[in-house]
Chain A
């Protein structure tokens, strides 16, 4: 299995909603990431988990809350988002310098 699976593929949420994005990989990778990509821009790193511990938080607002329940799963909990948070959210995992991206969740905040 060489895939990173993300659910849902699309999500529309109101500014008062709470939702979660989910990511799963079964490649045995011990580093997992959340990236955010706005339209016509490159991906930007949000969080890095290494061996299930949060290693990097790129000064992301607290309305985004990551969680790594085990070595295969990565969640991103969303609460009180703003319309400007609408973007493609990409999960990734890496081993030996090779980063593999999931198909992403297209998030729209209304």
Chain B
């Protein structure tokens, strides 16, 4: 079945450590997105990518980094520079600019907790 897989579902990090969240899709989508969800603040865009080896900062990119070495994969690293990383993280993908009317498909999310 085609879809988006995020792993792990739950992740615990010690303060000062970097941690990487995985996002893989087999939908042959060009566009991929990372969002952070906090209570009462909706989904805030961290990074997005439309093509391999290219990505753009979203609205809250500070303290995060991404890579897009393969079309299928868009991992997100939460660095020690992110002061409040505890949140629910969602990855999404869409067909991309080739087709303008493109809905986004979402993974199941990763709950990151700093301990």
Q: Do A and B come from one complex?
A: no
Which residues of B line the A interface, CB within 8 A? Answer: none
Which residues of A line the B interface, CB within 8 A? Answer: none
